Amino acid sequence: MAASTLPFSSFMIPQSKEKLGVALVGLGYYSRDLLAPALQLTRHCELKGIVTGTPEKIPVWQEKYGIANKNVYNYENMHEMADNEDIDIVYIVLPNALHKKYSVIGAEAGKHVWCEKPMAINVGECEEIINACEKNKVQLTIGYRMHHEPVTQKIISWNKSRPYGKPLKLTAEAGFYNSGGDGTHWKLFKELGGGAMFDMGVYPLNAVRYATGMEPTRVRATIERSRPEIFEADETTIFDLEFPGGIVAHCKTSFSEGLNTLRTECEKGWYELRPFQSYSGVKGKTSDNKFLSPFKGNQQARQMDDDALGIIQNKKPLVPGEEGLLDIRVVEAIFKSAEQGGKEIAI
């Protein structure tokens, strides 16, 4: 799916470099194990900088990735990047409740912003990020890697071509067993944007939106906790969405069980991706015995190359901030419904 030409006048800092410089902001699991290795495979961008609050990580990252002293920042001096031409993009890979603050700092330093999913923890924060990027004429894209994944792109194209007719009923589930570790990790607590819904639930939510190409209009949701001593934030969230034309989606996300399925039943057949949101091996089958074979490349490298090329070529990103906001709008309604005992809520 090629990015389309920008329909609006925001952005664009001319880019003469062949490879754009990326600074990873937050050097936890996803930066360390997935993004930094993927940035060794990219053609249009490269790892040039780091932002961390943990000084012990600095020599390890500098040695492994050859990062210059002048490209190492902490959260207090990150804004000084404004003067650093090595860095074109900040990639925000922090606890969810910190996405807004550091996306805005990056935008105000004149850097393009890649922000991990979920975009932020409420609609107001998403709007602040979008506004800061528009004001500073920098691109904003959300780290929904599935939009860049070829099998997923095929079924996204089906929301228009509808080879199996109109979708009628969808089922989408994503989860894994989270032991809770030592009980202190931010993903266990609401304050920093923890919980299954923000961590994994945005995958089924985003999937039923891209599989239908529509926005849900009503929701009913419930939250379950089998280990309340571990999870202050939601452990399992079940949500049913209603779309225009009577289409329904049954969704579930959990920190208590492995779940990884997207199934769309349509008027003339069905298709299913299982797994639908893993880092590799996403594959599918259809009611007419077609097999959607897994992509062999690196998802994160493909995502970052698409997004870097979008900046170089002055194209609208595949996953703009508005896409992240649309999910958070639904997440707000999901939490509201759950708080009211599963009451149906208009979105």
What residues make contact with ligand NAD under the rule CB under 6 A? Answer: 26-30, 53-54, 93-96, 98, 116-117, 143, 145, 186, 192, 199
Tell me the residue nearest to ligand NAD as measured from the CB.
28
CA distance 122 to 332: 7
Rounded to a whole number of angstroms, the minimum distance from the CB of residue 245 to ligand NAD is: 31
Residue 281, phi-psi category: left (phi > 0), alpha (psi -120 to 50), beta (remainder) = left
* Cβ–Cβ < 8 Å for 31, 92: no
Q: Which lies closer to ligand NAD via its Cβ, residue 186 or residue 270? A: 186
Judged by CB, which is closer to ligand NAD: 53, or 165?
A: 53
Classify the phi-psi angles of 246: left when phi > 0, otherwise alpha if psi is within -120 to 50, otherwise beta.
Answer: left
Least distance between ligand NAD and beta carbon 57 (Å): 8
Judged by beta carbon, residue 30 or residue 65, the one nearer ligand NAD is 30
| E strands present in 99-153 | 112-115, 140-142
Residue 243 or 335 with smaller CB distance to ligand NAD: 335
Rg (CA), the chain: 20
The pairing of strands 20-25 and 89-92 is parallel
Q: Which is nearer to ligand NAD, 143 or 216 (CB)?
A: 143
What CA–CA distance (Å, rounded) separates 105 from 52? Answer: 14
**Burial letters 4-40, b for 16+ CB under 10 A, else e:** eebeeeebeeeeeeebbbbbbbbbbebbbebbbbbbe
CA dihedral 31, 325, 105, 279 (to 10 degrees): 10
Among residues 146, 195, 142, 180, the alpha carbon closest in space to that of 307 is found at 142
Q: Residue 254 Cβ, how far from ligand NAD at the closest point, in Å?
A: 16
Q: 112: helix, coil or strand?
A: strand
Q: Minimal distance in Å, beta carbon 201 to ligand NAD?
A: 11
Residue among 167 and 317 whose Cβ is closer to ligand NAD: 317
Report in angstroms how near the CB of residue 28 gets to ligand NAD at its nearest: 2
**Other beta carbons within 10 Å of 267:** 10
Q: Of 98 and 130, which CB lies nearer to ligand NAD in the complex structure?
A: 98
CB of 33 to ligand NAD, least distance (A): 8
State in angstroms the smallest separation of the CB of 154 from ligand NAD: 20
